[in-house]
Amino acid sequence: MKRTQFYYLRTPNTPVDVQWLILIIVLYINGCRFSLYLQNGSENEPHEIAFVFDARFNFGSDHNKIVTNSKKGGAWGSEDHRHLAFPFHPEQDFRIKITVDDDSFKMKVNGEKFLEYEQKLSMKSINCIRIQNDIVIEEIKLK
Sign of CA dihedral 73, 79, 85, 86: positive
Highest-pLDDT range among 4-13, 72-81, 96-105:
72-81
Measured between alpha carbons, how far is 63 from 61 in angstroms, rounded to an integer?
A: 7
Supply the pTM of this predicted model.
0.84
Asked if residues 131 and 137 have their Cβ atoms less than 8 Å apart, the reply is yes
Structure letter (DSSP) for residue 17: P
DSSP for 54-91 reads EEEEEETTEEEEEEEEEEETTEE---EEE-------TT
Render pLDDT for 97-114 as a digit per residue (tens, 0 to 9): 888 877 889 999 999 999
* Residue 6 confidence (pLDDT): 65
Domain definitions of the chain by residue range: 4-142
Report the C-alpha gap between 96 and 137 in whole angstroms: 11
Backbone angles phi, psi at 123, to 5 degrees: -75, -10
**pLDDT per residue as tens digits for the range 34-73:** 889 988 887 788 899 999 999 998 888 989 999 999 999 9
Residue 12 has pLDDT above 60, yes or no: no
Q: Give dist(CA 12, CA 15) in Å, integer.
A: 8
Please state, in angstroms and rounded to a whole number, the distance separating the CA atoms of residues 98 and 107: 4
Confidence of residue 118 (pLDDT cuts 50, 70, 90): very high
Weakest-pLDDT range from 16-25, 28-37, 49-58, 123-132: 16-25
In CATH, the architecture of 4-142 is Sandwich (2.60)
